[in-house]
Amino acid sequence: MKLSARSRYAARLLLSLASHESNTPIRTAILSEETGITIQFIEQIIRPLKKAGFIKSVRGVAGGHILDKAPSEITLGQIVRTMEGAISISNCLDCDSQCDRSVDCKTKKVWERASRAMEVELDSITLADLLDPQDSAEA
């Protein structure tokens, strides 16, 4: 599985919001500068993140975006599932009709195990973990 730019940028965007310790909304232009993500792409990424309850937006002059959950409550697995759907390394795991061999496939169980291992690992890493410089050095 290759993560899309949407997943990688969503993680970067949420991490940027998490790095701001105050509860002050951060404008899209500032997020763009900090993350290197275009304003147009940020606006596309924010929609599903808001729907998932990770971000809330504030309108007005002092408006912007702010985390709606604590960084310790947001995992990379949640972010990827929000942006991509199921975490699987093969399309055949998402839908049996993708492959006419799925009923007697000798490798399907391996792809399932590998996908679950990746999902468990992504679910074990929170934004708070990524903010901690000691954890980052160990990773």
Q: What is the pLDDT of residues 114-134, one digit of tens each?
A: 989 999 999 999 999 999 866
Q: What is the mean pLDDT of residues 97-116?
A: 79
Give the per-residue pLDDT at 104: 77
Q: What angle do CA 105, 106, 111 make, to 5 degrees?
A: 85
Separation of alpha carbons 68 and 43, rounded Å: 17
Domains annotated for the chain, with CATH where assigned, are 5-138 (1.10.10.10)
Predicted model pTM: 0.84
Kindly state the percentage of the chain with pLDDT values over 90.
Answer: 63
Give the per-residue pLDDT at 91: 67
For the chain, give the mean pLDDT. Answer: 87
Give the per-residue pLDDT at 137: 46
pLDDT tens-digit series, residues 67-89: 999 999 999 999 999 999 888 77
